[in-house]
Amino acid sequence: LRCVCLVRGHTSSHGPKAEGPGSRILPGAWHAAGRGKGFLIHLDRPPRLPRAPPPPPPPPSSLPLPSPASSFVLLPPPSSSSVPSVLTSSQRQLSAHTRTTTTTTPPRPVSTMHTSMVKSKFLSDPEDLGVVAVGFSGGQCKQGVDAAPKALIESGLLTQLRDELGYKLHGDDEVHLYTDLVPADDPPYRNMKNPRAVSAVTERIADQVYQQSRLGRLTLTLGGDHSIAIGTIAGSAKATRERLGREIAVIWVDAHADINTPETSDSGNVHGMPVAFVTGLAREARPEYFGWLKDEHMLSLKKLVYIGLRDVDAGEKRILRDNGIKAFSMFDIDRYGIGRVMEMALAHIGSDTPIHLSFDVDALDPMWAPSTGTPVRGGLTLREGDYICECVHETGSLVALDLVEVNPSLAADQEGAASETVRAGCSLVRCALGESLL
């Protein structure tokens, strides 16, 4: 291949775009995108020269074995003990970008949608799905995330789950705003902003999730900011202890660890503290300030796994190290690949543990989910996010799922950013609930 030109590019929700005078797409051009930065590389092939006719094939008995240097060889999947192959972030981003942006066909009709309903280990009826729609934004300071459940539902998510994946939906068909629980005066307490509102709302959410989970239903919660996970995890942990006599494990997929205590947080936003509260690292006796959290609501630090971290506060790093918490950053995903990371994450949890998957859409790179409150470049591709959800579904251990931090009001300067983020969120939910590629 002959390099024609290299032009600076930028990343948008539609992938890399050429900049500068004279930029043009050449025949045979390739597009390459790095994590969080776009580059458009124009490569063109020189004129083809006539080829000599190939020699006649040898007799079948003398055919040589394929050589790795001269042909493609289909190898068996690597075992867990083998050294995983390393894909750079740009290679993986290029692959996902090519697969996604070259597809312009409309969504598949219902009759051709392929799904995979794995037999559940812990649910009474795997087709029963409890839905809790949480329109709450008080755990952070940006308005608009409270509109996410409505946007997800209006995009057809619940219809897809019912008509295409075959779920029987249970819930009150209402997006809860909890305005009756938000006090007129809610001053900071222990450095927490809106502490009484967040405490009251998450206590209500805990009961809503508990009421669905105690019946043996898989429970889907559509947020909302990530502070709502105080309630969702508390509710599913309590129900699982009562119904099965087991503790849950939590897979927390996020750019951020959200394990600050009120004292270590720089911002005071409670959406950066939910893991600290549900693990007991942050405790408060007063009921109006999360004192309602009891042992029955708690998550063991040994049953917590992070995936996708790349923006972790100094105090959070100390907490992760001091407590030996299993965490896979984007460095690990770049080094091992998402397949090996999921193998290690699920091995740490064990095959006999109910799983609560809490997915913050900002775990995805802003290329795939620009409309979120705290975007961080260098994140997961959408395909990697879908793969995480598919792997969790295949365990048969999923008992609860959160999707949070979609904010349709943000990234308004990018055309189609909100709808693209909503579509990404819907894709994650469908994959966690059984949609498969084949």
10-residue mean pLDDT profile of the chain (438 residues): values are: 40 38 36 42 41 51 38 38 41 42 38 61 96 98 97 97 97 94 96 98 98 98 98 99 98 99 96 98 95 98 99 98 98 99 98 98 98 98 99 98 98 89 98 95
Would 144 be classed as within a structural domain?
yes
Catalytic residue among 42, 226, 356, 393: 226
Would 169 be classed as within a structural domain?
yes
Query: 313 an active-site residue?
Result: no
Would 32 be classed as within a structural domain?
no
Would 8 be classed as within a structural domain?
no
Position 46 scores a pLDDT of: 42
Instruction: Please count the residues of the chain.
Output: 438
Catalytic residue among 146, 203, 402, 405: 405
Query: 362 an active-site residue?
Result: yes
Q: Give the whole-angstrom CA distance, residue 315 versus residue 332.
A: 21
Query: 322 an active-site residue?
Result: no
**What is the crossing angle of helices 89-101 and 382-395, to 10°?**
90
Query: 271 an active-site residue?
Result: yes
Burial 246-281 (b: 16+ CB within 10 A, else e): eebbbbbbbbbbbbbbbebbeebbbbbbbbbbbbeb
Report the candidate in 357, 418, 409, 427 with the shortest Cα–Cα distance to residue 143: 409
Position 150 scores a pLDDT of: 98
Catalytic residue among 146, 164, 203, 254: 254
Query: 360 an active-site residue?
Result: yes
Would 327 be classed as within a structural domain?
yes
Position 203 scores a pLDDT of: 98
Would 51 be classed as within a structural domain?
no
Position 40 scores a pLDDT of: 36
Catalytic residue among 42, 256, 356, 393: 256
Would 21 be classed as within a structural domain?
no
Position 56 scores a pLDDT of: 58
Note if the pTM is more than 0.95.
Answer: no
CA distances from 194 to 65, 373, 432 (A): 69, 17, 32
Position 414 scores a pLDDT of: 85
Catalytic residue among 271, 297, 356, 393: 271
Catalytic residue among 316, 360, 384, 420: 360
What 3-state class would DSSP assign to 224?
Answer: coil
Q: Give the whole-angstrom CA distance, residue 192 versus residue 425.
A: 28
Query: 14 an active-site residue?
Result: no
Angle CA 224–250–135, to nearest 5: 10
Q: In this structure, are residues 118 and 434 in contact, taking their beta carbons and an 8 Å threshold?
A: yes
Would 415 be classed as within a structural domain?
yes
Quote the tokens at residue 137: 């934004």
Distance of CA 427 to the CA centre of its chain: 10
Q: Which range of residues forms the domain containing residue 354? A: 128-433
Contacts of 132 (CB under 8 A, 6+ apart): 171, 176, 205, 208, 209, 212, 219, 220, 221, 222, 232
Position 119 scores a pLDDT of: 87
Sign of dihedral through CA atoms 235, 240, 245, 251?
Answer: negative
Phi, psi of 234 (to 5 degrees): -60, -40
**Which CATH number is 339's domain given?**
3.40.800.10
Catalytic residue among 332, 362, 365, 390: 362
Q: Give the whole-angstrom CA distance, residue 357 versus residue 117.
A: 17
Domain count, the chain: 1
Q: Give the whole-angstrom CA distance, residue 362 versus residue 21.
A: 34
